[in-house]
Amino acid sequence: MAQQLSIAVAQPRCTAYDVTANAVAHAEAIRAADARVVLFPEMSLTGYELDAVPVTPDDERLAPIVAACAETGSLALVGAPVPGPRIGILAVDGDGARVAYGKVHLHGSEAAHFVPGEPAVLVVDGWRLGLAVCRDTGVPEHAAKTAAMGIDGYVAGVVHADHEADVHGERARRVAADIGVWVATAAFAGPTGGGFDRTSGRSGIWSADGKLLAEAGAAPDEIARAVFVK
């Protein structure tokens, strides 16, 4: 019997450092996405603010996201600074949150604030999802090491400047060519910290043969969605 997995990439509006407001925006995106997995950009919960306080899985401000996941049956992969401290991905469902991943390949000044994580795979309904954050996607070794753990898809949250909008597709097609899995990238939209006054948006989902299946526009609050079958 064929297995299906619906996945959405979301790029909610973001207020710098305001986890409470951003959690509400994430919850709205989850309800709108109508997908089993909803993927968010790098540090989507705080903005790309390298001095943001790490968010712990038991943080009460995550309650709107937990509630939205409980209502929809979704798993949200939320970008946030997490204990370590790491640039992390929080896996949130109707039962709560846990740290699923920490960015392996830190970029520039990130290393002054964070420590690197390790490759990781998250299993959802029998689908094995390799996790990545931004610069990880530009290091072929990362996808190779993650693929060696056995994956069906490779999912990443990123922040790119507006002139880098084509980077998602270039990297997704390379990953698809190198390891033969589908790729989903949630990219920040709207202004954020770290000099990213204008970000790219254009979150997308690509098939294992590198074909673009769905893409959001450049504006905040847009969502793209696809369904995979195996």
For 32, 49, 83, 94, 158, the CA distances from 166, given in Å and listed in that order, are: 26, 24, 32, 34, 13
pLDDT value, residue 195: 76
- What six digits make up the tokens of 189? 């939209």
What is the percent of the chain where pLDDT is above 90? 87
Kindly report, residue by residue over 157-169, the tens digit of the pLDDT. 999 988 888 988 8
Distance CA 181, CA 175 (A): 7
Instruction: Name residue, tokens 């990443």.
Output: 156
Kindly report, residue by residue over 105-156, the tens digit of the pLDDT. 998 899 999 999 999 999 999 999 999 999 999 999 999 999 999 999 999 9
> Minimal CA–CA distance to 39: which of 168, 223, 179, 214?
223
Nearest 10 degrees: Cα torsion 107, 194, 219, 203: 10
Whether pTM exceeds 0.75: yes
